[in-house]
Chain A
Amino acid sequence: MYVYKCVSIYSPPSPSLSCLSDHHNRPLPCVPLSESNPVVHLRETRKRRGSFVVSLSATMSACKDQDPRIHGIKTKIRVVPNFPKPGIMFQDITTLLLDPKAFKDTIDLFVERYKGKNISVVAGIEARGFIFGPPIALAIGAKFVPLRKPRKLPGKVISEEYILEYGRDCLEMHVGAVEPGDRALVVDDLIATGGTLCAAMNLLERVGAEVVECACVIELPELKGRDRLNGKPLYILVEYH
Protein backbone atom coordinates (compact mmCIF):
# COMPACT_ATOMS: atom_id res chain seq x y z
CA MET A 1 0.00 0.00 0.00
CA TYR A 2 1.44 3.32 -0.92
CA VAL A 3 0.32 6.31 1.05
CA TYR A 4 0.53 9.80 -0.30
CA LYS A 5 0.74 12.48 2.31
CA CYS A 6 -0.67 15.83 1.38
CA VAL A 7 1.70 18.68 1.82
CA SER A 8 1.47 22.38 1.63
CA ILE A 9 4.27 24.71 2.41
CA TYR A 10 3.32 28.00 3.95
CA SER A 11 5.52 31.02 4.24
CA PRO A 12 3.99 33.85 6.22
CA PRO A 13 3.73 37.26 4.59
CA SER A 14 6.95 39.15 4.93
CA PRO A 15 7.75 42.83 4.83
CA SER A 16 10.50 42.06 2.36
CA LEU A 17 9.71 42.41 -1.32
CA SER A 18 11.75 39.38 -2.11
CA CYS A 19 10.05 36.96 0.24
CA LEU A 20 7.26 34.72 -0.79
CA SER A 21 4.02 34.43 1.08
CA ASP A 22 1.37 31.83 1.09
CA HIS A 23 -1.12 32.89 -1.51
CA HIS A 24 -3.90 32.70 1.02
CA ASN A 25 -1.89 35.03 3.27
CA ARG A 26 -2.76 32.95 6.30
CA PRO A 27 -0.64 32.58 9.39
CA LEU A 28 1.16 29.33 9.81
CA PRO A 29 -1.27 26.71 11.14
CA CYS A 30 -0.22 24.34 13.89
CA VAL A 31 -1.95 21.01 13.49
CA PRO A 32 -1.04 18.06 15.63
CA LEU A 33 -0.52 15.05 13.40
CA SER A 34 -1.13 11.43 14.07
CA GLU A 35 1.89 10.13 12.28
CA SER A 36 4.52 12.80 12.50
CA ASN A 37 5.07 16.21 13.87
CA PRO A 38 5.29 19.17 11.60
CA VAL A 39 8.84 19.95 10.67
CA VAL A 40 9.60 23.60 10.87
CA HIS A 41 12.61 25.00 9.13
CA LEU A 42 13.86 28.39 10.02
CA ARG A 43 15.86 29.91 7.25
CA GLU A 44 17.84 33.05 7.50
CA THR A 45 18.46 34.69 4.20
CA ARG A 46 20.67 37.65 3.83
CA LYS A 47 19.48 39.92 1.08
CA ARG A 48 22.00 41.02 -1.46
CA ARG A 49 22.16 44.55 -0.10
CA GLY A 50 22.82 43.46 3.46
CA SER A 51 19.45 43.57 5.16
CA PHE A 52 18.31 40.59 7.10
CA VAL A 53 15.28 38.58 6.11
CA VAL A 54 13.83 35.60 7.87
CA SER A 55 11.50 33.26 6.08
CA LEU A 56 9.66 30.47 7.76
CA SER A 57 8.58 27.42 5.91
CA ALA A 58 6.87 24.39 7.34
CA THR A 59 6.24 21.00 5.95
CA MET A 60 3.00 19.53 7.15
CA SER A 61 1.37 16.28 6.40
CA ALA A 62 -2.36 15.82 6.06
CA CYS A 63 -2.88 19.53 6.57
CA LYS A 64 -6.54 20.32 6.89
CA ASP A 65 -6.13 23.58 5.02
CA GLN A 66 -4.47 22.11 2.00
CA ASP A 67 -5.58 23.20 -1.41
CA PRO A 68 -8.30 20.88 -2.78
CA ARG A 69 -6.41 20.47 -6.04
CA ILE A 70 -3.56 18.62 -4.30
CA HIS A 71 -5.57 15.45 -3.86
CA GLY A 72 -6.36 15.26 -7.56
CA ILE A 73 -2.70 15.71 -8.38
CA LYS A 74 -1.31 13.10 -6.02
CA THR A 75 -3.76 10.43 -7.14
CA LYS A 76 -2.57 10.88 -10.73
CA ILE A 77 1.06 10.09 -9.99
CA ARG A 78 1.88 6.49 -10.74
CA VAL A 79 4.38 4.50 -8.73
CA VAL A 80 6.38 1.98 -10.76
CA PRO A 81 8.22 -0.51 -8.55
CA ASN A 82 11.80 -1.54 -9.23
CA PHE A 83 12.57 1.11 -11.83
CA PRO A 84 15.21 1.91 -12.94
CA LYS A 85 16.59 -0.76 -10.65
CA PRO A 86 15.35 -3.13 -7.92
CA GLY A 87 14.21 -1.43 -4.73
CA ILE A 88 13.39 1.93 -6.27
CA MET A 89 9.72 2.95 -6.24
CA PHE A 90 9.73 5.27 -9.23
CA GLN A 91 7.41 8.27 -9.10
CA ASP A 92 5.98 8.50 -12.60
CA ILE A 93 4.51 11.91 -13.41
CA THR A 94 3.59 11.00 -16.97
CA THR A 95 0.18 9.83 -15.77
CA LEU A 96 -0.35 13.28 -14.29
CA LEU A 97 0.31 14.77 -17.73
CA LEU A 98 -2.45 12.57 -19.17
CA ASP A 99 -5.03 14.38 -17.05
CA PRO A 100 -5.42 17.90 -18.45
CA LYS A 101 -7.16 19.19 -15.33
CA ALA A 102 -4.64 17.75 -12.89
CA PHE A 103 -1.72 18.94 -15.01
CA LYS A 104 -3.24 22.41 -15.25
CA ASP A 105 -3.83 22.45 -11.49
CA THR A 106 -0.18 21.55 -10.93
CA ILE A 107 0.99 24.45 -13.04
CA ASP A 108 -1.59 26.81 -11.54
CA LEU A 109 -0.42 26.06 -8.01
CA PHE A 110 3.13 27.04 -8.93
CA VAL A 111 2.03 30.05 -10.97
CA GLU A 112 -0.15 31.36 -8.15
CA ARG A 113 2.79 31.14 -5.80
CA TYR A 114 5.34 32.85 -8.04
CA LYS A 115 3.37 35.35 -10.09
CA GLY A 116 4.09 38.93 -9.11
CA LYS A 117 7.22 37.95 -7.19
CA ASN A 118 9.63 39.33 -9.78
CA ILE A 119 11.03 36.01 -10.81
CA SER A 120 12.99 36.68 -13.97
CA VAL A 121 14.18 33.16 -14.75
CA VAL A 122 12.77 29.67 -14.40
CA ALA A 123 15.51 27.05 -14.68
CA GLY A 124 14.28 23.57 -15.48
CA ILE A 125 16.31 20.42 -14.96
CA GLU A 126 16.50 17.97 -17.85
CA ALA A 127 14.27 16.36 -18.83
CA ARG A 128 11.14 16.35 -16.66
CA GLY A 129 11.88 19.87 -15.46
CA PHE A 130 11.36 20.85 -19.11
CA ILE A 131 7.74 19.73 -18.85
CA PHE A 132 6.79 21.87 -15.84
CA GLY A 133 9.22 24.78 -16.15
CA PRO A 134 8.20 26.41 -19.45
CA PRO A 135 4.47 26.69 -18.71
CA ILE A 136 5.33 28.30 -15.37
CA ALA A 137 7.84 30.65 -17.02
CA LEU A 138 5.35 31.69 -19.68
CA ALA A 139 2.62 32.37 -17.15
CA ILE A 140 4.77 34.46 -14.80
CA GLY A 141 6.63 36.42 -17.49
CA ALA A 142 10.02 34.85 -16.90
CA LYS A 143 12.57 33.44 -19.30
CA PHE A 144 13.13 29.69 -19.32
CA VAL A 145 16.62 28.24 -19.04
CA PRO A 146 17.19 24.51 -19.57
CA LEU A 147 19.80 22.88 -17.35
CA ARG A 148 21.09 19.91 -19.29
CA LYS A 149 23.22 16.81 -19.20
CA PRO A 150 26.70 17.26 -20.69
CA ARG A 151 27.20 18.04 -24.36
CA LYS A 152 23.55 18.73 -25.16
CA LEU A 153 23.73 22.52 -25.10
CA PRO A 154 25.51 24.06 -28.09
CA GLY A 155 27.96 26.90 -27.61
CA LYS A 156 29.55 28.08 -24.42
CA VAL A 157 28.40 26.48 -21.18
CA ILE A 158 29.33 26.31 -17.53
CA SER A 159 29.29 22.93 -15.81
CA GLU A 160 28.59 21.79 -12.28
CA GLU A 161 29.47 18.30 -11.16
CA TYR A 162 27.48 16.45 -8.55
CA ILE A 163 27.66 13.14 -6.75
CA LEU A 164 25.36 10.24 -7.49
CA GLU A 165 24.82 7.15 -5.39
CA TYR A 166 27.52 5.52 -7.51
CA GLY A 167 29.70 7.93 -9.43
CA ARG A 168 29.17 11.47 -10.62
CA ASP A 169 27.10 13.41 -13.09
CA CYS A 170 27.18 16.88 -14.47
CA LEU A 171 24.70 19.67 -15.19
CA GLU A 172 25.33 22.44 -17.73
CA MET A 173 23.92 25.89 -18.37
CA HIS A 174 24.50 28.32 -21.21
CA VAL A 175 26.86 31.18 -20.54
CA GLY A 176 24.88 34.39 -20.84
CA ALA A 177 21.47 32.86 -20.34
CA VAL A 178 21.25 34.12 -16.77
CA GLU A 179 22.62 37.45 -15.60
CA PRO A 180 23.77 38.83 -12.26
CA GLY A 181 20.76 39.98 -10.31
CA ASP A 182 18.33 37.63 -12.04
CA ARG A 183 15.84 36.16 -9.55
CA ALA A 184 15.58 32.45 -10.26
CA LEU A 185 13.23 29.60 -9.61
CA VAL A 186 14.56 26.05 -10.06
CA VAL A 187 12.01 23.47 -11.21
CA ASP A 188 12.14 19.70 -11.36
CA ASP A 189 9.51 16.99 -11.11
CA LEU A 190 10.96 15.46 -7.96
CA ILE A 191 13.52 16.02 -5.20
CA ALA A 192 15.21 12.94 -3.79
CA THR A 193 18.68 13.46 -2.30
CA GLY A 194 18.81 17.03 -3.56
CA GLY A 195 22.07 16.52 -5.42
CA THR A 196 20.75 17.66 -8.79
CA LEU A 197 18.91 20.65 -7.36
CA CYS A 198 22.02 21.65 -5.47
CA ALA A 199 24.05 21.56 -8.69
CA ALA A 200 21.36 23.62 -10.39
CA MET A 201 21.43 26.25 -7.66
CA ASN A 202 25.22 26.39 -7.82
CA LEU A 203 25.12 27.05 -11.55
CA LEU A 204 22.73 29.94 -11.08
CA GLU A 205 24.61 31.43 -8.15
CA ARG A 206 27.91 31.16 -9.97
CA VAL A 207 26.63 33.61 -12.56
CA GLY A 208 25.32 35.96 -9.90
CA ALA A 209 21.64 35.07 -9.90
CA GLU A 210 19.62 34.85 -6.71
CA VAL A 211 17.88 31.52 -6.27
CA VAL A 212 14.56 32.48 -4.72
CA GLU A 213 13.17 28.97 -4.33
CA CYS A 214 13.27 25.41 -5.61
CA ALA A 215 9.95 23.95 -6.73
CA CYS A 216 9.14 20.29 -7.27
CA VAL A 217 5.94 18.35 -7.69
CA ILE A 218 7.13 15.50 -5.44
CA GLU A 219 9.46 15.19 -2.47
CA LEU A 220 10.89 11.99 -0.99
CA PRO A 221 11.39 13.42 2.49
CA GLU A 222 13.24 10.43 3.91
CA LEU A 223 16.13 11.20 1.58
CA LYS A 224 16.46 14.61 3.22
CA GLY A 225 17.10 16.47 -0.01
CA ARG A 226 15.66 19.57 1.59
CA ASP A 227 18.74 19.77 3.82
CA ARG A 228 21.07 19.92 0.84
CA LEU A 229 19.68 23.13 -0.52
CA ASN A 230 22.03 25.47 1.36
CA GLY A 231 19.16 26.97 3.26
CA LYS A 232 17.15 27.80 0.15
CA PRO A 233 13.42 27.23 0.50
CA LEU A 234 11.72 24.32 -1.18
CA TYR A 235 8.12 24.28 -2.33
CA ILE A 236 6.50 20.96 -3.12
CA LEU A 237 3.01 19.72 -3.78
CA VAL A 238 3.15 16.07 -2.78
CA GLU A 239 5.27 13.94 -0.46
CA TYR A 240 5.92 10.27 -0.96
CA HIS A 241 6.85 8.15 2.02
Chain B
Amino acid sequence: MFAGENGLQGDPRLKAISEAIRVVPHFPKPGIMFQDITTLLLDHKAFKDTVDIFVDRYRDMGISVVAGVEARGFMFGPSIALAIGAKFVPLRKPKKLPGEVISEAYVLEYGTDCLEMHVGAVQRGERALVIDDLIATGGTLCAAIKLLERVGAEVVECACVIGLPEAKGQCRLNGKPLYILVEPRK
Protein backbone atom coordinates (compact mmCIF):
# COMPACT_ATOMS: atom_id res chain seq x y z
CA MET B 1 0.00 0.00 0.00
CA PHE B 2 1.53 3.28 -1.06
CA ALA B 3 1.23 6.31 1.20
CA GLY B 4 0.42 8.55 -1.74
CA GLU B 5 -2.66 6.49 -2.50
CA ASN B 6 -3.73 5.99 1.08
CA GLY B 7 -4.19 9.03 3.23
CA LEU B 8 -1.29 11.12 1.96
CA GLN B 9 -2.55 12.00 -1.50
CA GLY B 10 -0.80 15.10 -2.74
CA ASP B 11 1.35 15.38 0.37
CA PRO B 12 4.29 17.52 -0.76
CA ARG B 13 6.58 15.76 1.68
CA LEU B 14 6.38 12.57 -0.40
CA LYS B 15 7.61 14.34 -3.50
CA ALA B 16 10.54 15.84 -1.62
CA ILE B 17 11.41 12.46 -0.13
CA SER B 18 11.35 10.82 -3.54
CA GLU B 19 13.52 13.53 -5.03
CA ALA B 20 16.05 13.22 -2.22
CA ILE B 21 16.74 9.60 -3.11
CA ARG B 22 19.61 9.02 -5.51
CA VAL B 23 19.69 6.31 -8.16
CA VAL B 24 23.05 4.66 -8.73
CA PRO B 25 23.07 2.54 -11.90
CA HIS B 26 24.71 -0.87 -12.01
CA PHE B 27 25.24 -1.27 -8.29
CA PRO B 28 26.01 -3.74 -6.80
CA LYS B 29 26.01 -5.38 -10.22
CA PRO B 30 25.14 -4.53 -13.84
CA GLY B 31 21.48 -3.98 -14.48
CA ILE B 32 20.52 -2.96 -10.97
CA MET B 33 19.36 0.65 -10.50
CA PHE B 34 20.28 1.02 -6.84
CA GLN B 35 18.00 3.27 -4.76
CA ASP B 36 20.41 5.14 -2.51
CA ILE B 37 18.76 6.59 0.59
CA THR B 38 21.97 8.14 1.93
CA THR B 39 21.15 11.32 0.02
CA LEU B 40 17.82 11.41 1.87
CA LEU B 41 19.75 11.32 5.15
CA LEU B 42 21.71 14.38 4.00
CA ASP B 43 18.49 16.36 3.64
CA HIS B 44 17.46 17.05 7.21
CA LYS B 45 13.94 18.16 6.38
CA ALA B 46 13.21 15.25 4.07
CA PHE B 47 14.72 12.77 6.54
CA LYS B 48 12.66 14.24 9.37
CA ASP B 49 9.53 14.14 7.20
CA THR B 50 10.16 10.47 6.44
CA VAL B 51 10.32 9.62 10.13
CA ASP B 52 7.36 11.89 10.96
CA ILE B 53 5.13 10.21 8.38
CA PHE B 54 5.82 6.79 9.89
CA VAL B 55 5.46 8.12 13.44
CA ASP B 56 2.10 9.74 12.65
CA ARG B 57 0.87 6.47 11.22
CA TYR B 58 2.05 4.20 14.02
CA ARG B 59 1.89 6.26 17.19
CA ASP B 60 -1.63 5.19 18.14
CA MET B 61 -1.45 1.57 17.05
CA GLY B 62 -0.22 0.16 20.35
CA ILE B 63 3.07 -0.91 18.84
CA SER B 64 5.57 -2.00 21.46
CA VAL B 65 8.43 -3.07 19.23
CA VAL B 66 10.05 -1.68 16.10
CA ALA B 67 12.26 -4.26 14.41
CA GLY B 68 14.80 -2.83 11.99
CA VAL B 69 16.55 -4.87 9.34
CA GLU B 70 20.32 -4.46 9.20
CA ALA B 71 21.77 -2.09 8.23
CA ARG B 72 19.62 0.57 6.58
CA GLY B 73 16.64 -0.36 8.72
CA PHE B 74 18.80 0.87 11.62
CA MET B 75 18.82 4.35 10.12
CA PHE B 76 15.04 4.73 10.29
CA GLY B 77 13.80 2.32 12.95
CA PRO B 78 15.29 3.77 16.15
CA SER B 79 13.91 7.27 15.52
CA ILE B 80 10.45 5.84 14.96
CA ALA B 81 10.73 3.64 18.05
CA LEU B 82 11.83 6.58 20.21
CA ALA B 83 8.97 8.75 19.02
CA ILE B 84 6.25 6.14 19.60
CA GLY B 85 7.65 4.82 22.87
CA ALA B 86 8.49 1.38 21.52
CA LYS B 87 11.61 -0.67 21.97
CA PHE B 88 13.97 -1.13 19.05
CA VAL B 89 15.11 -4.60 18.05
CA PRO B 90 17.87 -4.99 15.46
CA LEU B 91 17.50 -7.90 13.06
CA ARG B 92 21.01 -8.77 11.97
CA LYS B 93 23.13 -10.79 9.61
CA PRO B 94 24.57 -13.96 11.13
CA LYS B 95 27.09 -13.85 13.98
CA LYS B 96 26.70 -10.16 14.72
CA LEU B 97 24.40 -10.41 17.72
CA PRO B 98 26.08 -11.67 20.90
CA GLY B 99 24.40 -14.23 23.09
CA GLU B 100 21.42 -16.42 22.28
CA VAL B 101 19.68 -15.80 18.97
CA ILE B 102 17.07 -17.34 16.72
CA SER B 103 17.76 -17.51 12.99
CA GLU B 104 15.61 -17.48 9.91
CA ALA B 105 17.04 -18.40 6.51
CA TYR B 106 15.73 -16.85 3.34
CA VAL B 107 16.29 -17.26 -0.35
CA LEU B 108 18.32 -14.83 -2.45
CA GLU B 109 18.51 -14.66 -6.19
CA TYR B 110 21.54 -16.92 -5.91
CA GLY B 111 21.84 -18.80 -2.67
CA THR B 112 20.46 -18.12 0.78
CA ASP B 113 21.05 -15.67 3.61
CA CYS B 114 20.03 -15.54 7.21
CA LEU B 115 18.51 -13.04 9.63
CA GLU B 116 18.93 -13.27 13.41
CA MET B 117 17.12 -11.86 16.43
CA HIS B 118 17.99 -11.99 20.10
CA VAL B 119 16.14 -14.52 22.22
CA GLY B 120 14.13 -12.63 24.80
CA ALA B 121 14.10 -9.31 22.98
CA VAL B 122 10.46 -9.69 21.95
CA GLN B 123 7.73 -11.22 24.09
CA ARG B 124 4.66 -13.19 23.15
CA GLY B 125 1.74 -10.90 22.37
CA GLU B 126 3.79 -7.84 21.53
CA ARG B 127 2.67 -5.76 18.57
CA ALA B 128 5.52 -5.23 16.14
CA LEU B 129 6.43 -3.00 13.23
CA VAL B 130 9.11 -4.14 10.79
CA ILE B 131 11.10 -1.42 9.07
CA ASP B 132 13.60 -1.42 6.22
CA ASP B 133 14.65 1.17 3.68
CA LEU B 134 13.39 -0.76 0.68
CA ILE B 135 11.34 -3.78 -0.32
CA ALA B 136 12.25 -5.66 -3.48
CA THR B 137 11.19 -9.30 -3.56
CA GLY B 138 10.16 -9.22 0.08
CA GLY B 139 12.42 -12.12 1.02
CA THR B 140 14.19 -10.28 3.83
CA LEU B 141 10.98 -8.81 5.21
CA CYS B 142 9.35 -12.23 5.15
CA ALA B 143 12.22 -13.61 7.20
CA ALA B 144 11.81 -10.71 9.62
CA ILE B 145 8.09 -11.40 9.99
CA LYS B 146 8.79 -15.06 10.65
CA LEU B 147 11.32 -14.29 13.37
CA LEU B 148 8.81 -12.12 15.19
CA GLU B 149 5.96 -14.57 14.77
CA ARG B 150 8.09 -17.46 15.96
CA VAL B 151 8.38 -15.77 19.35
CA GLY B 152 4.66 -15.06 19.42
CA ALA B 153 4.62 -11.40 18.45
CA GLU B 154 1.97 -9.96 16.17
CA VAL B 155 3.39 -8.15 13.16
CA VAL B 156 1.09 -5.18 12.68
CA GLU B 157 2.71 -3.88 9.50
CA CYS B 158 5.90 -3.77 7.44
CA ALA B 159 7.06 -0.29 6.54
CA CYS B 160 9.55 0.74 3.88
CA VAL B 161 10.61 4.03 2.41
CA ILE B 162 10.81 2.62 -1.14
CA GLY B 163 8.86 -0.16 -2.83
CA LEU B 164 10.19 -1.71 -6.00
CA PRO B 165 7.85 -2.75 -8.81
CA GLU B 166 7.97 -6.38 -7.65
CA ALA B 167 6.29 -5.20 -4.47
CA LYS B 168 3.64 -3.13 -6.24
CA GLY B 169 0.21 -4.65 -6.15
CA GLN B 170 1.25 -6.49 -3.01
CA CYS B 171 -0.72 -4.91 -0.27
CA ARG B 172 0.30 -7.72 1.97
CA LEU B 173 3.40 -9.71 2.63
CA ASN B 174 2.82 -13.15 4.10
CA GLY B 175 -0.62 -11.83 4.92
CA LYS B 176 0.85 -8.80 6.67
CA PRO B 177 0.06 -5.27 5.51
CA LEU B 178 2.79 -3.38 3.74
CA TYR B 179 3.18 0.40 3.86
CA ILE B 180 5.48 2.16 1.42
CA LEU B 181 6.24 5.84 1.04
CA VAL B 182 7.57 6.14 -2.50
CA GLU B 183 8.22 4.28 -5.71
CA PRO B 184 11.74 3.95 -7.05
CA ARG B 185 13.16 6.73 -9.16
CA LYS B 186 14.21 5.97 -12.66
Give residues in A with beta carbon < 8 Å to B.
78, 80, 83-84, 90, 92, 94, 97-100, 103-104, 107, 126-128, 130-132, 134-135, 137-138, 141-146, 148, 151-155, 174, 177
Contacts and interface: CB of A to CB of B under 8 A. Distances in A.
Given A84-B95, A134-B76, A135-B78, A127 B70 contact: yes
B102 interface: no
B166 to A, nearest CB: 19
Given A78-B99, A131-B88, A145 B42 contact: yes
Contact of B87 (A97, A130, A131, A138): A97
Contacts of B171: none
Contact of A84 (B22, B48, B98): B98
Contact of B44 (A90, A126, A137): A137
Interface in B27-51: 27-28, 34, 36, 38, 41-44, 47-48, 51
A83 B44 contact: no
B186 interface: no
9 contacts: A84-B98, A90-B98, A94-B89, A97-B87, A97-B88, A100-B81, A138-B47, A138-B48, A146-B75
B2 interface: no
Contacts of A153: 38
Contact of B71 (A94, A103, A126): A126
A154 B118 CA distance: 30
B136 interface: no
Nearest to A130: B74
Contacts of A107: 82
A157 B94 CA distance: 26
B87 A100 contact: yes
Given A94-B118, A154-B27, A141 B44 contact: yes
Nearest to A149: B71
A97 B74 CA distance: 12
B38 A146 contact: yes
Contacts of B79: 134-135, 138
B43 A143 contact: yes
Nearest to A152: B71
A98 B82 CA distance: 11
A41 B76 CA distance: 36
Contacts of B22: 155
B125 to A, nearest CB: 16
Q: Which of B71, B89, B96, B98 has the most CB of A within 10 A?
A: B98
Contact of B24 (A100, A146, A155): A155
